[in-house]
Structure 1
Amino acid sequence: MEARWLEAFVAVAEELHFGRAAQRLHMAQSPLSQTIRRLETHVGAPLFDRNTRSVALTPAGTALLPMAYRVLRDVALATAAAQAASGRVHGIVRIGFSGAFNHLTLPRLARAIRRELPDIDLELISRISTGEGLTKLRNGTIDIAFVGLPIGSSPAVSSRLISRTEMGAVVPEDHPLADETSISVAQLEDDDFLSMPLDGSSAMADVLMRCGIAAGFRPRVVQEITDPYMLLTFVATGMGVSIVAEDLAPILPRGARWIPLNDQTQYMYHGIAWMTDEHSAAVEAVLTLSERILPTPAVTPHTPQ
């Protein structure tokens, strides 16, 4: 079994489309199909159910996928170790981030990597929520994830706090409270709320619900939105209000206002996460650099560790 066979298999498994997988691998579709057939012959079982409209993993393909990730990760680690012996850090580092939440932090880190670690190829994967980031870390498809904290206690995944921002209300510009200098969350009890997904994958959604419950009510969420900037845009259209971190205030779309809260301060905690043991010298170099570029703020009694 060749590593390139597994690379082809992982690409098709993730894309579930031979054309997109071939484009991702910079090869024609026919050689890709031949490679998958060679792998299927080698393992003695079909890995994909194919028809003219869809591609799906078979039970054999589903069983092979996590092992393929592990083999490719081990190959990458071995290659990086050999390159590190030359005295320079080489490799690919894949960073997952949500988008709007990271407009202050990701550019600083990315510029520093390109400036100080020029032999590292940086891949940025957008629209990754905290929950998705942790899943992708564990299956090896990204190396570092920007996340909301806390992320739970798993020894396999490490994390570090990089910023703490106050929560505030965001309302349409024609809302009765739009011109207030500060408000309490209780004043929004009768409003419709817009939220990031409430399935546990979004730290900001968790903070929104915590703010409402602390004010004595459960926010009435009328729509869940996966993209934080689109959430702000929907508020600007008048579809509802929300509770968001202050670092989103500078990028509000026209038609929305951010208002500080005068309740007991609630915070959004931002961090980065990575696999504790299974990472390359390139990832280690980026993590070390991040400690200087995005240092951990002073710890308070309410700050996640």
Structure 2
Amino acid sequence: MELRYVAAFVAVAEELHFGRAARRLQMAQPPLSQMIRQLEKELGVQLFERSTRSVRLTSAGESFLGPARQVLDDVDLAKRAVTSAGTGEYGRVTIGFGGASSHAALPRLARAVRAAHPGIELVMKVQQYANVALDGVADGSLDLGFVRMPVTRAGVRTRVIENDRLVCALPADHPLAGKEEIDLTDLIHDPFVSLPASSGSTLLDAMIRTCEEAGFTPKVVQEAPDSNTVLALVSAGVGVTLTLKSVEHVCQGGLVYLPMAGRTVWQQAALAWRADNPSAALRAVLAIAERELPTPAAES
């Protein structure tokens, strides 16, 4: 199968018009039609249904389109990788992210990378929790991860990009909602909503630890799969929770966010990558991140 046949197929499949596809490929229409017939003969299937008025993909053509595009993308990637080998100006960096730690930072980093290195492809992998991104970095399936500290994985390097703090989220009609700050001991008898105990979430760990330091174990009456749902349940009056200040913008209706009296609990967001990752593209992305997401001053 010749690569030019694959390119011809993709052009016709996207244009659904032989004339427009021929102009796009800067060739005459008869040779293009011949290439498609030769490709169909080679594959042993009909890729298009043709009439005098329209061109449509057959089911076989629809099945072939995705892999054909991937072939062309991979060839383009290989060509550009050869011409830019070792410079970090071209390549693919896979980034794992999840939770509030990346809501503002990831778009900022992605825009800066695209502006400085348009040849670097950022492949975004959504994770439900930040610790899952850390697992991906540790096992090599991700190049870079937005994670929560502390990180103790062997061979994984980190750099803090944000200091965030815990706040208490209450339903707007809670008896304590009008206060400027809240003493955690006032919530001893309140029901709590949390992320699943099985999630390994550092936010959940911080909530439990902070309540225990205040002298009680939070009574969790309902779990939810993500912070958005947790806050929606709090807004509905199911319970209260401790969350990060950075998520206040995510869910505001029916909620009040209050600082905790007498204590400030910090949670650090960080970037994580394997120390032995040889990718020049990753090094270029990390350099951009140093500028766009600098390490903040330590909080006391």
TM-score normalised to structure 1 length: 0.68
Report the CA distance shift for 1:169/1:86 in structure 2 as closer, same or farther (over 3 A).
closer
How far residue 130 of structure 1 moved from its aligned partner, in angstroms, is 2.6
The residue identity in structure 2 corresponding to 1:222 is V
Partner SS, residue 67 of structure 2: coil
Aligned to 1:138: 138
CA contact (8 A) 1:112 1:293 kept: yes
Report the CA distance shift for 1:114/1:81 in structure 2 as closer, same or farther (over 3 A).
closer
CA contact (8 A) 1:83 1:89 kept: no
Aligned to 1:277: 276
Deviations 1:193-244 (A, max 9, x none): 1122334621111110121011111111222323111211111111111101
CA contact (8 A) 1:101 1:228 kept: no
How far residue 299 of structure 1 moved from its aligned partner, in angstroms, is 3.0
- Greater gyration radius: 2
Aligned to 2:116: 116
- State how far apart, in whole Å, the 2-side matches of 1:272 and 1:100 are: 13
The residue identity in structure 1 corresponding to 2:131 is G
How far residue 118 of structure 1 moved from its aligned partner, in angstroms, is 0.8
Name the % identity.
35
- State how far apart, in whole Å, the 2-side matches of 1:165 and 1:122 are: 26
Aligned to 1:179: 178
Partner SS, residue 193 of structure 1: strand
**Structure 1 residues without counterparts, runs of 5 or longer:** 1-21, 29-77
Aligned to 2:193: 194
Aligned to 2:296: 297
Instruction: Report the number of matched residues.
Output: 229
- State how far apart, in whole Å, the 2-side matches of 1:256 and 1:147 are: 26
Please tell me whether residue 261 in structure 1 is matched to residue 260 in structure 2: yes
The residue identity in structure 2 corresponding to 1:89 is E
Aligned to 1:59: none
Deviations 1:40-77 (A, max 9, x none): xxxxxxxxxxxxxxxxxxxxxxxxxxxxxxxxxxxxxx
- State how far apart, in whole Å, the 2-side matches of 1:88 and 1:287 are: 11
CA contact (8 A) 1:249 1:258 kept: yes
Matching of residues 43-54 of structure 1 within 5 Å: none
Report the CA distance shift for 1:237/1:158 in structure 2 as closer, same or farther (over 3 A).
same
Structure 1 vs Structure 2 CA RMSD? 2.5
Matching of residues 185-224 of structure 1 within 5 Å: 185-199=184-198, 201-224=200-223
CA contact (8 A) 2:81 2:90 kept: no
Partner SS, residue 161 of structure 1: strand
Aligned to 1:104: 104
Aligned to 1:89: 89
Report the CA distance shift for 1:267/1:160 in structure 2 as closer, same or farther (over 3 A).
same
How far residue 26 of structure 1 moved from its aligned partner, in angstroms, is 2.7
Aligned to 1:18: none
